[in-house]
Amino acid sequence: MTKSTALLLILSALLTASCAFNSVFFAVEKQDLNSKITDLEYEEFYSKSDDGTEVYCTFFNSDEKAQGTIFFLQGSGDNVASWSGWARPFVKEGYQVFMMEYRGFGAASGKATHKNVLKDAQISFIKMTNLEAVKGKKVLVLGQSYGGQIAINLTSRFQDKVDALVIEGTFTTFNEEVVYQVPLILKPFLGLLTTSHYKSKNLIREIKGVPVLIIHSSEDTTVPIKMGRKLYANANSPKYFWEIDGEHIHGIEDHTKEYIDRIKMLTVNSSYPD
């Protein structure tokens, strides 16, 4: 999401007195949303949401010997195909990766809103945990940027089914992220007019007994690192904060080996670096 796009959408929202700001988080940028999924082997699934919408899902590397399954929630504005390449390092290290499409992107129909995407994620997560290839294996929920909001919400609801939570470049609340994106003169107005359907900085307090790894770049200009630190402060132990460098949610690409190693420490080993 570019700052000019965000500003235009926010100004429009102000004029219409809308507080949802769904279009800010689900704006379709100029990209090929019909691109091909990576050459990794995968299965396709459709899970049906409450309103009858079919949610497109992909499951990479269904292997009986897999050491765990990652429910991967990408940032907004993209589709599974454009993010599927980021599943490769996990699959290479013996993890299964399950991804769902957000409504209105790629193979998914319908229109994305905060509420219906969350419902889609809940139904897709349950579908994944019921797969024979997943049963008996550790489950890690990984969310990047907007996907981190859903990841926190899912983990708070299904703590008995989640063995670890990892979020990268995730903001504290929807409205705080919107306020951050706009010029200083608009911040007081947006602070009063915007709301959040759910607040990650509060929901993360409800997660207990599930290891939480928060990854954030000190150079992130989309979501400031202070939001990641706030989420860390509110999280319960065991919790870990990993400060990296680089662009917004480029950790897997820029720090691949250490990213995988830290996830292994959460799901396989009993120790974790300070």
Q: What is the DSSP string of 79-142?
A: -HHHHGGGGHHHHHTTEEEEEEPPTTSTT--S---HHHHHHHHHHHHHHHHTSTTTTTS-EEEE
Would you list the domain boundaries of the chain?
Answer: 3-267
Taking CA atoms, 231 is separated from 49, 77, 179, 200, in Å, by 29, 23, 17, 8
- pLDDT for residue 55: 87
pLDDT category, 176, cuts 50, 70, 90? Answer: confident
For residues 148 and 200, the answer to whether their CB atoms sit within 8 Å is yes
C-alpha–C-alpha distance, residues 94 and 96, integer Å: 7
pLDDT tens digits for 206-247? 999 999 999 999 999 999 999 999 999 999 999 999 999 999
* Cα 220 to Cα 177: distance, rounded to the nearest angstrom: 13
| pLDDT for residue 17 | 36
pLDDT on residue 29: 46
- Residue with more model confidence, 222 or 15: 222
* Cα distance between the two ends of the chain: 33
Encode 253-266: b = buried (16+ Cβ within 10 Å), e = exposed.
Answer: eebbeebbebbbbb
Q: Is the pLDDT of residue 154 over 70?
A: yes
pLDDT band per the 50, 70, 90 thresholds, residue 19: very low
Reported as a single tens digit per residue, the pLDDT across 66-108 is: 889 999 998 876 677 777 888 989 998 999 999 998 886 666 6
| % of the chain residues with pLDDT over 90 | 50
8-12, 84-88, 170-174: which has the minimum mean pLDDT?
8-12
The pLDDT score that the predictor gives to residue 65 is 80
Mean pLDDT value of segment 45-70: 84
CATH number listed for the domain at residues 3-267: 3.40.50.1820
Confidence (pLDDT) at 20 = 43
CB atoms within 10 A of CB 176: 21
Q: What tens digit of pLDDT does each residue of 226-236 get?
A: 999 999 999 99
Higher-confidence residue: 30 or 14? Answer: 14
**Cα 90 from Cα 92, distance rounded (Å):** 5
Structural contact between residues 14 and 191, judged by C-beta atoms closer than 8 angstroms: no
Q: Does residue 156 register a pLDDT over 70?
A: yes
What pLDDT is recorded for position 15? 42
Confidence of residue 56 (pLDDT cuts 50, 70, 90): confident
Query: What pLDDT sits at residue 39?
Result: 77
C-beta of residue 222 within 8 angstroms of C-beta of residue 1: yes
Residue 40: what residue type? L
